[in-house]
Amino acid sequence: MIHSADIREWRNHDVLDRKGHKIGALEAIYVDTTTDEPAMATVRTGLPTRQRLIFVPLDEAILGPDNVKVAHSKGLVKKAPSIGTDDILPAEQEEAIFKHYDMAYQPGAGGERKLARR
């Protein structure tokens, strides 16, 4: 289990897919607002002048000596919803991220966001 306090140390480290292929660099962690546990990460990818942040779930993620290995293929992650490097995730786009990975999406009882950046 990755803890949100630990993950700050991993910023800018490589994010690898389950086969060890580099996806990009870890940018930020988003926690589940109901549990405050890490749920998603943003991965910085693209050319230096055209970078974007792609969302990837942290379920089954493994911390290596200098990387974070996620349970999803590079191809699936590269097609995931993304935001610009200076953007924030709009609440109405959260569900699309969960659907991309075939994950159940349930906002808070009052319509609260499911994800919060840490």
Q: Which phi and psi (to 5°) does residue 61 adopt? A: -70, 145
Report how far apart, in Å, the C-alpha atoms of 30 and of each of 20, 73, 81 are.
23, 20, 14
For residue 43, the model assigns a pLDDT of 96
What whole-number distance in Å separates Cα of residue 59 and Cα of residue 81? Answer: 17
Q: Give pLDDT tens digits for 43-82.
A: 999 887 889 999 999 989 988 888 999 999 999 999 999 9
For residue 117, the model assigns a pLDDT of 87
Q: DSSP states of 5-41 as a string?
A: HHHGGGTTSEEE-TTS-EEEEEEEEEEETTT-SEEEE
Q: Give pLDDT tens digits for 13-41.
A: 999 999 999 999 999 989 888 888 889 99
- Comparing C-alpha atoms, which of 20, 21, 17, 65 is closest to residue 41? 17
Take residue 22 and report the two structure tokens written for it. Answer: 């580099």
Report which residue type is found at 6: D
Q: Which phi and psi (to 5°) does residue 13 adopt? A: -80, 160
For residue 35, the model assigns a pLDDT of 86
Asked whether residue 5 carries a pLDDT value surpassing 60, the answer given is no
Take residue 19 and report the two structure tokens written for it. Answer: 């086969």
For residue 65, the model assigns a pLDDT of 83
